[in-house]
């Protein structure tokens, strides 16, 4: 067996005065292909959690959004009291839901740890249509805050995980709200913190052929069910790239001058220095979805950056105990939260 790839850390990170002693992501040579890492979890993950769904109005009080819970055996609090056992909330990726492999893996792992879990869906995701033309977007800190405030009415301690687009959203929220962020800590995986360069990265040959249709087609189907004028309809149906869709629909609907104006204003990267609560950002250097990644000079002292050489996009599949294992993501996230709690 070839020796594993290892990114040796000179020193372990310190979080609120406590050492974050985590297991670096390691894998054998035959498992190091970025596209293999990205695709493997979609076929490996067999977990099928039984979610409890609640529909809650969004921050505009216009559309229902889905909250999919995994509960513990903790008795329901009386009156205005809150659950004492921590809650982990997941903000999913573009056009994602609680059915995605990373959501099911995290839900199963959190339940095994005895904590509560919920996927806070974006507007129009999880099979719940929007009632108005308000769309979700990558920099919507207001909606993120609303989601966490709703949950804080029932849970005393909240931790948050953001994946892909949801990772940029969560990082931006942690920066925008600082000490007023509802969650005690955040973990961000595979996030396009610089949206413009991530969109460019998706224009590679493999990205354009393999990943763009996977992301774009659900958005096209959803948008085409709305009332559109002929000009808007023609532009949307002609879209073959994410940037073309954002130019035809996302940017004008959100009031941005262009897709690049949207990417600039919604990206978390320029704001990471404002984060004041413990935040872990993990990005594989071979992530095929991403462009520019954050460096130590971009972030505040409250942020821990970890960039393993491999892992793909929300992949991080390792070889453990003679089998393929997808638990490194939830294992690392909960390890971080437990480190924060012990500080």
Span 137-194, pLDDT tens digits:
899 999 999 999 999 999 999 999 999 999 999 999 999 999 999 999 999 999 999 9
What's the whole-model pTM score?
A: 0.91
Residue-level pLDDT at 197: 93
Tokens of 80: 């205005």
Residue-level pLDDT at 243: 84
Residue-level pLDDT at 1: 28
| Residue segments in the chain with a per-residue pLDDT below the cut of 70 | 1-12, 132-133, 205-210, 214, 224-230
Tokens of 41: 């979890």
Residue-level pLDDT at 165: 95
Residue-level pLDDT at 210: 67
Residue-level pLDDT at 308: 94
Residue-level pLDDT at 177: 98
Catalytic residues: 164, 287, 313
- For the domain 14-194+270-342, what is the CATH code? 3.40.50.1820
Residue-level pLDDT at 3: 33
């Amino acid at each position: 067996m070839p020796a594993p790839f290892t990114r040796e850390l000179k020193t372990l990170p310190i979080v609120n005065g406590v050492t974050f002693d985590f297991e670096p992501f390691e894998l054998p040579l035959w498992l190091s292909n970025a596209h293999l890492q990205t695709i493997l979890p979609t076929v490996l993950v067999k977990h099928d959690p039984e979610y409890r769904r609640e529909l809650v109005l969004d921050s505009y009080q216009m559309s229902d959004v889905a909250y999919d819970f995994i509960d513990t055996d903790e008795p329901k609090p009386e009156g205005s009291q809150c659950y004492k056992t921590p809650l982990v909330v997941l903000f999913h990726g573009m056009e994602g839901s609680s059915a995605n492999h990373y959501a099911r893996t995290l839900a199963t792992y959190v339940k095994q740890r005895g904590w509560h879990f919920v996927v806070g869906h974006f507007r129009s995701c999880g099979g719940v249509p929007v009632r108005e033309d308000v769309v979700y977007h990558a920099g919507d800190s207001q909606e993120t805050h609303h989601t966490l405030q709703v949950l804080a009415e029932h849970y005393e301690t909240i931790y948050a995980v953001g994946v892909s687009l949801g990772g940029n959203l969560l990082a931006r929220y942690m920066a925008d709200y600082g000490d007023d962020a509802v969650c005690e800590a955040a973990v961000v995986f595979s996030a396009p913190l610089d949206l413009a360069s991530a969109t460019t990265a998706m224009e590679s040959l493999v990205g354009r052929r393999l990943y763009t249709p996977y992301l774009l087609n659900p958005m096209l189907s959803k948008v085409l069910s709305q009332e559109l004028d002929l000009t808007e309809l023609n532009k949307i149906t002609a879209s073959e790239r994410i940037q073309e869709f954002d130019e035809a629909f996302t940017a004008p609907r959100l009031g941005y001058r262009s897709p690049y104006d949207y990417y600039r204003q919604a990206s978390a990267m320029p704001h990471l220095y404002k984060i004041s609560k413990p935040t872990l950002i993990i990005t594989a250097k071979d992530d095929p979805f991403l462009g520019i990644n954050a460096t130590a000079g971009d972030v505040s002292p409250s942020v821990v950056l970890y960039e393993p050489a491999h892992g793909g996009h929300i992949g991080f599949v390792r070889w453990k105990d003679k089998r393929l294992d997808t638990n490194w993501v939830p294992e690392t996230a909960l390890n971080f939260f437990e480190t924060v709690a012990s500080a």
